Structure 1
Amino acid sequence: MQQLLSLPNIPRSYTALAEILASTLAIVQIRRSKISWSTWLMLTGFGIGQFILQFLADKFYIQFWILGILINVFWMFLTIFSCSRRSITVLIYQTSKTFIIAEFLAASAWQIVCYLKFYAYQIWRPFFQAVLMFLIYSLIIWLLFLLQNNDRLRYANLNISKKSAWNSLVIAMMIFATSNLGFMFKQNSLLNNSSSIFMMRTMVDLCGLLLFYIQENQRYEHYLHNDLIQMNSMFQSQYEQYQAYRESSETVNRRFHDLKHQLDVIALEQNSKKRLSYINSLRDDIKQFKSDVKTGNPVVDVVLTRKNAYCIEHNIIFTCIANGKLLNKIDVMDLCSLLGNSLDNAIEAESKVTDPQKRLIDLRVTKKGNMVIYSLRNYTTQATKLGSNGLPTTTKKDHSQPHGYGLKSIRLIAKKYGGTLTITNKDNWFKLILLLPLS
């Protein structure tokens, strides 16, 4: 019985196949675009190279066993780098994780095949053995793909800090060392046969994979926490701007009240030069306040008036047809964030348009059926790429600062009030449409 359950070493060809499949899984998960035929061809070439390296490593003396492993791991690194072109931190993390996946894949599949050999000898023919190994590999890879095929883990796999990258490398080394301890202590009473050794190796590799997935979930939760802090800060900032705008509007009203008294003074002034000077001064003052916008909603009026004043000052043509009463049910802070963030993005885009005649922003707040339509469009000369989340990818080069939270907050507002957010960029017009139910 003991002899029948003895497990031979994993053939090098199966180890190479496990490494190729694990590398392919990593490439599929971290690439944003569809894999082209040229990439598949390159991946095939690297796969052939993996088989050759494993064959050569099998010829090494036992003293150079570790060297052979390092060479194969480095080849996996080159495979992922050549087919994905990611940052060095992402590559280190993915290679470490891919190596553990390959170890788990090879050990678990080989164990299953060997146990089937024990219970059904006819399956142990070379052809059926190869087919069975490939089927088990495919099933495990498919399950791992389904496990990681979501936005949470995709973000966690693409946003790797230097600390996380080096931690993953240390974890991979510790998992590999622990999983192979059994081969060094075969005389131990608990590990006195190859079946126990392979069982230990498979379980340790599985624990290593679980450790990687736990870290990825923690990384994503940390991202969500920071995301929430940034959006709350943006909500507060827009609300504080609204408070400042409202105070400014009150100052304007007082200023117009003072103009009445100044007109009385001008009427009594006998000196024509002084009277003309007063009149010119009044004209300058009035010109500053000609941006007044009335929509029927005091919050909307204040924000749009200030944004319109900014547009006038910077030669941006801002047209607005808005029934502000349709937005009465939206919370003040949410409304400030919606108006402030959407208009700030549009104004920033127009500031990059060189032709003043093409600096155009158009806002419409209308009703259609039982829906409120908040439509904002602006002319743009830049092509905007939309990410997998439906939001534009940032064009800012300074990635140390948070970007894109304005549109994320608008989408959050849409979900909060049971609506939808649609963003398009077509024929030089960037368009944001927010649909909200009236009820």
Structure 2
Amino acid sequence: MNDILPDIPRLYTALAEWLACIVFILVLKRRLSGWKLVAFSGAALVVQSVFLVATKDLPIVFWIPCMIIAIGLIFIHIYTCCAVTALEAGYYTVRAFVAAELIASLEWQVNFFFMNERNSDLAVELLLLVSVYGISFLLYWLLERRHILVEGKLNIRQRELWSTVLIGAAVFGISNLSFVTAHTPFSGQYTKEIINIRTLVDLGGFTILFAYHILLKELRISHELKAVQYILQNQYIQYQQSKESIEMINYKYHDLKNQIIALRAEEDPDKRNAYLTQIENEIKHYEAQNRTGHHVLDTLLASKHMYGMKYGITFTCVADGSLLSGMDVIDICTIFGNALDNAIEYEQQIEDEEKRLIHVSLFAQKGFMMIRFENYYEGELQLEEGLPASTKQDAYHHGYGLKSIRYAVQKYGGVVHVTQKDNWFELQILMPLLNSKEEK
């Protein structure tokens, strides 16, 4: 069969596989950059080319093992250069391999059409190679760039990876079946027929994998939006419950004050006053102490303050709540509720009670509104996509608190920034002022 239809030159295949890797390196978040990226990618091209060319004349029994090794080299290239998990690297490896097979097959089909029964012209052959590869991989890069998640990883799971591997293996097997044997219902016997089968099967497999990728992306986005909406609703429900509880506490507080006034008229005033003073000091903890100028913010701050008191957390706040007058109640609950919940959850783990500190500030500055959450922090901060990495075992279903904060802030044209300074964790939110109030 090879006498009738020469196979694609191994060097062309290696170049196609390398360029497919480069496409994903350009669209994914990179682990390497600068000269390290250039050096490693250059070495990857050399290794891929040398390996495929060196194994060209091996017996057919070694064909599949050699292709597995070639795919492994693609995996190493993507995993080393891109900031992805091993499962995600495996997923992108299969997609890159199928794309490389399609473009290499397409180029060789075009080459065969123009060069068939003609004397070999190296200049024309290289021109066809550069043209077909250049246009095809440019279109592939544009296509991938539009459908790669920017704000988060795809979070590929084992089941999804194996589905992708099975699709890729089926496509590769059927597209190359005619080069192994012509005695099957799916094999071709004539040159053009074989070329068409390979290119069309690769195109079908590429389309299936791309459609599967879009489906996975939409499922991830849908899952994240549902989780964010759940948090929004939960925060609003929590606000309503907290408001009712605090109102009851305030009623009780005023009742006790009236009782104290009456008890002061009793005999033995010194002892009675000392006792009543003690009661007053105790019940002051349950009064809504924050007066920011926004009743929703007052309720949330008072609720979180009282909850933190149970764990010995010192809570301070300096906030101009009137700046929030143009913000939706649900968004206020989302931002302040999630930020304080995360801070309180972390401070509970601090052994030294004197270090359990949380500070909130809200102020206007040069036409912008600054919201800052600070809490005592021990250890090194690890960031993913600009947000702290989840420390929970099931990271896929956690970490939506900060994502929901960013989601709410972006609605108002704001940005979220996370930093660590010495032993302090800072969550900073910067948004344009929502009303006509200017900083004085």
How does the TM-score come out when normalised to structure 1?
0.82
Partner of 1:109: 107
Partner of 2:245: 248
Partner of 2:199: 202
Structure 1 residue 25, shift from structure 2 partner: 3.2
| Pair 148,335 (structure 1): closer, same or farther in 2 beyond 3 Å | same
Q: Which of these residues, 386, 389, 401, is aligned with residue 394 of structure 1?
A: 389
Distance (Å, rounded) in 1 between the aligned partners of 2:388 and 2:127? 44
Partner of 2:230: 233
Distance (Å, rounded) in 2 between the aligned partners of 1:188 and 1:197? 13
Give per-residue Cα distances to partners, 1:273-306, cap 9 Å, x unaligned: 9736742651353332355112333222211222
Structure 1 residue 394, shift from structure 2 partner: 1.8
Whether contact under 8 Å (2:94, 2:168) holds in the other structure is yes
Q: Which moved more, 1:311-320 or 1:213-222?
A: 311-320
Distance (Å, rounded) in 2 between the aligned partners of 1:65 and 1:387? 40
Matched letter for residue 333 of structure 1:
I
Q: Are residue 334 (structure 1) and residue 328 (structure 2) matched?
A: no
| Pair 71,392 (structure 1): closer, same or farther in 2 beyond 3 Å | closer
Partner of 2:10: 12
Partner of 1:164: 160
| Pair 424,179 (structure 1): closer, same or farther in 2 beyond 3 Å | same
Q: Which of these residues, 110, 121, 124, is aligned with residue 125 of structure 1?
A: 121
| Pair 188,335 (structure 1): closer, same or farther in 2 beyond 3 Å | closer
| Pair 244,403 (structure 1): closer, same or farther in 2 beyond 3 Å | same
**Structure 1 counterpart SS, 2:115:** helix
Whether contact under 8 Å (2:390, 2:399) holds in the other structure is no
| Runs of at least 5 residues in structure 1 that lack an aligned partner in the other structure | 1-5
Q: Which of these residues, 270, 288, 293, is aligned with residue 290 of structure 2?
A: 293
Partner of 2:21: 23
| Pair 323,86 (structure 1): closer, same or farther in 2 beyond 3 Å | closer
**Structure 2 counterpart SS, 1:437:** coil
Partner of 2:401: 406
**Structure 1 counterpart SS, 2:316:** strand
Partner of 1:3: none
Distance (Å, rounded) in 1 between the aligned partners of 2:205 and 2:110? 20
Q: Are residue 53 (structure 1) and residue 51 (structure 2) matched?
A: yes
Alignment of 1:3-402 (within 5 A): 7-84=5-82, 86-118=84-116, 124-150=120-146, 152-153=148-149, 158-183=154-179, 184-185=181-182, 191-264=188-261, 266-270=263-267, 275=272, 278-279=275-276, 282-289=279-286, 292-310=289-307, 314-324=312-322, 326-348=323-345, 356=354, 359-366=357-364, 373-378=369-374, 381=377, 384=381, 387-388=384-385, 391-400=386-395, 402=397
Distance (Å, rounded) in 1 between the aligned partners of 2:294 and 2:154? 44
Structure 1 residue 234, shift from structure 2 partner: 1.0
Whether contact under 8 Å (1:362, 1:378) holds in the other structure is yes
Structure 1 residue 164, shift from structure 2 partner: 0.8
Q: Which moved more, 1:83-92 or 1:210-219?
A: 83-92
How does the TM-score come out when normalised to structure 2?
0.82
| Pair 315,343 (structure 1): closer, same or farther in 2 beyond 3 Å | closer
Structure 1 residue 63, shift from structure 2 partner: 4.5
Partner of 1:425: 419
Structure 1 residue 393, shift from structure 2 partner: 3.5
Give per-residue Cα distances to partners, 1:234-255, cap 9 Å, x unaligned: 1122112212221122212221
How many equivalent pairs are there?
426
Structure 1 residue 175, shift from structure 2 partner: 0.6
Matched letter for residue 106 of structure 1:
A
Structure 1 residue 182, shift from structure 2 partner: 3.8
Distance (Å, rounded) in 1 between the aligned partners of 2:427 and 2:153? 31
| Pair 331,154 (structure 1): closer, same or farther in 2 beyond 3 Å | closer
Structure 1 residue 437, shift from structure 2 partner: 3.2
Structure 1 residue 359, shift from structure 2 partner: 3.2
Whether contact under 8 Å (2:297, 2:321) holds in the other structure is no
Distance (Å, rounded) in 2 between the aligned partners of 1:228 and 1:174? 34
Structure 1 residue 158, shift from structure 2 partner: 4.4
Structure 1 residue 228, shift from structure 2 partner: 1.7
Structure 1 residue 385, shift from structure 2 partner: 5.9
Whether contact under 8 Å (1:350, 1:378) holds in the other structure is no
Give per-residue Cα distances to partners, 1:31-68, cap 9 Å, x unaligned: 43443434443443343332333233322223443343
**Structure 1 counterpart SS, 2:374:** strand
Whether contact under 8 Å (1:383, 1:425) holds in the other structure is no
Q: Which moved more, 1:420-429 or 1:287-296?
A: 420-429
Whether contact under 8 Å (1:22, 1:102) holds in the other structure is yes
Percent of aligned pairs with the same amino acid: 28
Give per-residue Cα distances to partners, 1:301-335, cap 9 Å, x unaligned: 211222334456634341223133x4334333333
